[in-house]
Structure 1
Amino acid sequence: MSMVRAPWRGVKTPGVLRRAPAMVAFCAGLAVLLAGCATAAPSGAGQVADQGFVSGDGSVRTWDPGDRDGPVRVTGTAFDGQEIDTDDWDAEVLVLNTWYAACPPCRAEAPDLAAVAEQLEPDGVRFLGINTEDEAPTAQAFERTFTVPYPSIGDRSGRVVAELNGVVPLQAVPTTVVVDKDGMVAARVIGQIERSTLESLVEDVLAEEEPTGDGS
């Protein structure tokens, strides 16, 4: 069972894990999230795209180090059977991406995500997909098609998405979240992410961890 633990002070885990009435509200929210599969639009966000998905603008939000929420910890089982716990990863930066195979902007951004994941892996950057809809065969076919080099966990129950929403609102699939070395949310992109944007966001967070000089 996949879940995100939220151990930070002052933030409670959502009641969806404990109370039936909250489960009803959560299911409604998850339906909105899935319905919001976003296609990138350079301007005029909010229009309804021809294919029936609610359009998104690839909007970017960043947080300064002192203003970040977290830490974020994701656990679960990847589609290949690998047990995932992001606390076990020796990562300078973690990139989370929500997706499912039939989502057009997810397919459009997949080659860029795969390329940047390989490009930045030597710098200690780790990627993790969160699949909100698919069974393993469908998800693995997507991963093979786009040569995705990083794991994804299944979240058809919606628990990972629900608890991430307690830290950083996702609002649409796909959404990409950049997490700093301390597990705090540094940036979020709603909708299809451009390669140059992803590179810039990750490199900016990596630079925060670099030595600033000789200490003099």
Structure 2
Amino acid sequence: MTKTALITGASRGLGLALARSLAGAGWNLVLTARGAGDLERAAAELGATAVPGDVTDPEHVRRLATAVPSLDLLVNNASDLGVTPLPPLADYPLAAFRALLETNVTAPLALVQATLPALRARGGAIVNVTSDAATGAYEGWGGYGATKAALEQLSNVLAAEEPGVRVWWVDPGEMNTRMLADAVGAEEAASAADPAKVAAALSDLIAARPASGRVSLQ
């Protein structure tokens, strides 16, 4: 039986690399991201369904849930870095922090709520992509890290509340992505892991279906 995955933030970086890996394993894919052009090119490459839009938009969340009446895997990968250059918490603009919470915490929870009936029916799984910034005290990363810490605790409680669904909160480690380059510069980002390598490890995790919990891939 063909399995279906919904991946957010799927037009580049880890989301696109994971989509390629799962497509190679025969998964049916529904992909979403804000950049319609890049997303549609990715979907065409992989034979996937593209549903462009912003995961903070409740109407877009409803469209995504409608697109996956049968669902085996939800990957909450879409994320925002926040203000750059990364400011100390003493100077973090509160309006920007609220927006960051909306993207990195509220939107994943909204998608979980919208797709849980389909996931329960299939004994499916949820991957919430987090970061070591959720647990480490890195200067400048307080805003982003706080949102990822919140996402980790949501995942932790969700795993306890939904024993029939696997829930993994996954720290992929540093990857050579545009987001990391925006944070630390392109030169430093270039020395980080290839997203394709990390996606392969994440695909192995999804196939193995271990117990719910926090997973570090590097």
Fold equivalence (TM over 0.5) = no
Higher relative contact order (CA 8 A, sep 6+): 1
Which of the five TM-score ranges fits, normalised by the shorter chain? under 0.3
